[in-house]
Amino acid sequence: MKTIKGISVSRGINIGPVYQFHHLDLSFETRQVEDREAEWQRFQDAVKVSKGRLQQMYDRAVKEIGTDEAMIFDAHMMMLEDPDLIDGTMSGIMDEGLNAEAALLAVCEQYCDMLREIEDKYIQARVTDIQDVCNGVIAELLGLGNDAGVRVTEPSVIISRDLTPSDCVSIQKALIEGFCTIEGGTTSHTAILARSLGIPALVGAPDEIEDIPPETIVIIDGYEGVLIIDPDPETIKKYERKREAKLRIIGAALEHAKEPAVTKDGHRVETFVNLGSDSSEDINDAIARGAEGVGLLRTEFIYLNMEKMPDEETQYEKYSNVAKGFGESPVILRTLDIGGDKQLPYLELPYEMNPFLGVRGLRLCLKNPDLFKCQLRAVLRACSHGNLRIMFPMVTKLSEIRRAKELIGECRAELKKEGIEVIPYIHVGIMIEIPGAAIMSDLLAKEVEFFSIGTNDLTQYTLAVDRTNNSLADLANAFDPAVLRLIARVAESAHRYGKTVGVCGELGGDPIAIPILVGLGLDELSMNAPAIPIAKQIIRGLNFEEVKKLAQEVLDLESPADVKAKVFNTLPVIADLS
Ligand code: PEP
Ligand code: MG
């Protein structure tokens, strides 16, 4: 028996045999062909078969995972129509007489090299997609198309160096007990897929996982971030009990998911969902899990999923869908938060040495007023379909809020002139995710209706740790008292001026953080949909007066570990719910 540590990117516990996934050996010889026409035809046939497979993967993903996750295969099919890729390969075959594999690989490498030079994580991620698509065609050309992808025949824990989107979808959902990979971060495809499937997943595991013999029984624990290889019967029993207990808790919480979250002494906390799409599946799922509104609509994900900048009409439709879906419940729409690790391929932004400290979020929108106004007009128009509110990300200064509000005014006036009816008033709030804004929150509170604290960025900026750097994962901890003190300050500032304050960073849905956040007086917590039922249950078990005291006490502690220990000591029940 051996225990290996990884970074947990999706909660849950499962026990099962290992399926070692290795990518196919796609090596081939570069040669000159005699019949160039026939070779060109062979290439076109392989592309056609490849597209057919992608279409099957797309259909399967739509059924098993969801439309948004399936979009990646749609994008892959489009890549197979890219004129640069197709014409380049044709020229390799017809002009140079190369075999189709060699001609395609040469174009693919050239393409990827060009993209690699662009220092941009979003574009870097597209390199993997292009390689994935080209490898699919090469596998067809080599007659290996049927072997491509993961072929699991019994419920298994997938172990791999990394998994591509097509690897992931070729897996039958019901047969996957967990993922454990060496590469990939919390935003890798593996992590996204695992969360949407609700199965445990670890990334950043050591190289030795590749040596685990297939069929070896492992326990994957996405709560503790461990993989236990060849566990003894006692350990298996222990984890089976833990798993059953967790499932019972989740099931019980779901039964009460639609009831409000009110503490034992009558203090109400709103529980909202973080959304990144306008799909009806996501909206209905969130409502079924007890979402009382949307605390954060990450609109940039709507932009990221598109090939070109969405126009006002497209945005209007998407925002209206979410507004309608939630009826009278509030939907906090965050304006474009591009920059940092989120880049739009079709928006040419200058290279920055430190993009997280660069032209990001509201800064970018204020520098590009046409882009910003297009979004604001769409939001103002969509307001009539529900209860939309506007929130600006990455706010540093009062002057930025004033300018952004001026632009809302300009859009309102333009729409009126065009004869378009707009509701007379819209709530405007800001994210507090920069330490400077947290420190100055008493002044900022006068200018807005609400605050929502982005603990992901607030942690990275307060502690000077890049949120995407796995090797700093221990330091990047939102339970650090430095971060908690800022949250306390922001809550106090908001309430002093009668404004509401929420948390929409990952901390908001963390069971261990919830007693602290409630105790600090947060009015609203926003989180991923699966986290909502447990969060509500935790709140119902709290005593507001007691957690107010707890929250003040943790502010004086030394480390995140001390903070968590204090929560567990004061409220032992949290250990079962986290
Ligand atoms: C945050 O920073 O906490 C946040 C919610 O925004 P994002 O993760 O999208 O930067
Ligand atoms: Mg943020």
Which ligand approaches the C-alpha of residue 509 most closely?
Answer: 1
Return the ligand 1 atom nearest residue 300 CA: 9
Atom 4 (ligand 1) nearest CA: 454
Ligand 1 pocket, residues with Cβ under 6 angstroms: 296, 298, 337, 433, 454-457, 504-505
Query: What confidence tier does 349 reach under pLDDT thresholds 50, 70, 90?
Result: confident
Does the annotation count 504 as an active-site position?
yes
Query: What confidence tier does 300 reach under pLDDT thresholds 50, 70, 90?
Result: confident
- 40 lies in a domain? yes
How many structural domains comprise the chain? 3
Contact 269, 503 (CB under 8 A): no
Cα(92) to centroid of ligand 1, in Å? 45
Rounded Cα–Cα distance for residues 69 and 552 (Å)? 42
Atom 6 (ligand 1) nearest CA: 454
pLDDT for 253 equals 95
Return the ligand 1 atom nearest residue 505 CA: 3
pLDDT for 406 equals 98
Would you state the structure tokens that stand for residue 246, as one six-digit string? Answer: 């967790």
Q: Residue 360: which CATH number?
A: 3.20.20.60
Shared domain check, 488 and 505: yes
Task: State the average pLDDT over residues 193-211.
Answer: 84
- Comparing 215-219, 305-309, 551-555, the range with the smallest average pLDDT is 305-309
Residue 507 scores a pLDDT above 50: yes
Query: What confidence tier does 188 reach under pLDDT thresholds 50, 70, 90?
Result: low
- 29 lies in a domain? no
Task: State the average pLDDT over residues 493-515.
Answer: 95
Q: What is the best residue among 364, 391, 431 to mutate for testing ligand 1's pocket, by most ligand atoms within 8 Å of CB?
A: 431
Shared domain check, 271 and 341: yes
Rounded Cα–Cα distance for residues 360 and 431 (Å)? 13
* More reliable by pLDDT, 360 or 63: 360
* Burial label, 409 (beta-carbon count in 10 A; 0-12, 13-18, 19+): exposed
Atom 3 (ligand 1) nearest CA: 454
Return the ligand 1 atom nearest residue 454 CA: 3
- 30 lies in a domain? no
Distance spanning both ends of the chain, measured CA to CA: 26
Rounded Cα–Cα distance for residues 215 and 228 (Å)? 14
Residue ending a domain, choose from 147, 164, 191: 147
> Which residue range is the domain that position 526 belongs to?
256-577
Cα(465) to centroid of ligand 2, in Å? 14
- 314 lies in a domain? yes
Cα(309) to centroid of ligand 2, in Å? 21
Task: State the average pLDDT over residues 486-497.
Answer: 98
pLDDT for 303 equals 78
Judged by phi (left if over 0) then psi (alpha if -120 to 50, else beta), residue 550 lies in: alpha
Rounded Cα–Cα distance for residues 24 and 150 (Å)? 10
pLDDT for 279 equals 86
Atom 1 (ligand 1) nearest CA: 454
* Alpha carbon distances (Å) from 73 to 89, 91, 167, 430: 22, 26, 11, 35
pTM of the full structure: 0.74
- Comparing 149-158, 273-282, 439-448, the range with the smallest average pLDDT is 149-158
Residue 187 scores a pLDDT above 50: no
In the numeric block, the tokens 């996982």 are attached to 209
Return the ligand 1 atom nearest residue 433 CA: 2
350-371 pLDDT, tens digit each:
888 898 999 999 999 999 999 9
pLDDT for 24 equals 73
- Comparing 191-205, 420-434, 495-509, the range with the smallest average pLDDT is 191-205
Does the annotation count 134 as an active-site position?
no
pLDDT for 19 equals 92
Task: State the average pLDDT over residues 38-52.
Answer: 94
Cα(344) to centroid of ligand 1, in Å? 17
Q: Identify each DSSP E strand in 307-355 by its residue range.
A: 330-334
Shared domain check, 498 and 417: yes
Concatenate the DSSP letters of all residues of 184-253 into one string.
--TTSHHHHHHHHHT--EEES--GGGGGSPTT-EEEEETTTTEEEES--HHHHHHHHHHHHHHHHHHHHH
Task: State the average pLDDT over residues 410-432.
Answer: 95
Query: What confidence tier does 263 reach under pLDDT thresholds 50, 70, 90?
Result: very high
- 159 lies in a domain? yes
pLDDT for 244 equals 93
Q: Residue 161: which CATH number?
A: 3.50.30.10
**pLDDT above 70: percentage of residues in the chain:** 92
Residue ending a domain, choose from 249, 281, 316: 249
- 471 lies in a domain? yes
Would you state the structure tokens that stand for residue 336, as one six-digit string? Answer: 């474009």
* More reliable by pLDDT, 54 or 450: 450
pLDDT for 124 equals 67
Residue 234 scores a pLDDT above 70: yes
Shared domain check, 94 and 14: no
Q: Residue 78: which CATH number?
A: 1.10.274.10
In the numeric block, the tokens 């695992």 are attached to 194
- 31 lies in a domain? no
Residue 529 scores a pLDDT above 60: yes
Query: What confidence tier does 222 reach under pLDDT thresholds 50, 70, 90?
Result: very high
Task: State the average pLDDT over residues 127-150.
Answer: 82
Shared domain check, 504 and 395: yes
Task: State the average pLDDT over residues 441-463.
Answer: 96
Q: Per the residue annotation, which of 189, 267, 374, 411 is the catalytic one?
A: 189
Return the ligand 1 atom nearest residue 456 CA: 3
**Across-strand partners of 32?**
98
Of 323, 263, 340, whose CA–CA distance to 535 is shortest?
263
Computed over every residue of the chain, the mean pLDDT equals 90
Cα(147) to centroid of ligand 2, in Å? 41
Rounded Cα–Cα distance for residues 170 and 2 (Å)? 30
Rounded Cα–Cα distance for residues 550 and 566 (Å)? 8
Shared domain check, 436 and 310: yes
Q: What is the best residue among 187, 298, 507 to mutate for testing ligand 1's pocket, by most ligand atoms within 8 Å of CB?
A: 298
Shared domain check, 295 and 214: no
Atom 9 (ligand 1) nearest CA: 298
74-128 pLDDT, tens digit each:
888 999 999 989 999 999 999 999 999 999 999 999 988 888 787 766 676 677 7
Q: What is the best residue among 362, 504, 522, 528 to mutate for testing ligand 1's pocket, by most ligand atoms within 8 Å of CB?
A: 504
Rounded Cα–Cα distance for residues 515 and 184 (Å)? 31
Shared domain check, 290 and 230: no
- 560 lies in a domain? yes
Task: State the average pLDDT over residues 449-456.
Answer: 96
Cα(485) to centroid of ligand 1, in Å? 18
Shared domain check, 219 and 84: no
Task: State the average pLDDT over residues 141-154.
Answer: 73
pLDDT for 171 equals 64
Shared domain check, 19 and 45: no
Cα(190) to centroid of ligand 2, in Å? 22
Query: What confidence tier does 466 reach under pLDDT thresholds 50, 70, 90?
Result: confident
Which ligand approaches the C-alpha of residue 332 most closely?
Answer: 1
Residue ending a domain, choose from 147, 165, 185: 147
Return the ligand 1 atom nearest residue 453 CA: 3
Which amino acid type is present at position 205? Answer: A
Shared domain check, 509 and 389: yes
Shared domain check, 559 and 432: yes
Would you state the structure tokens that stand for residue 100, as one six-digit string? Answer: 């189709």
* More reliable by pLDDT, 305 or 141: 141
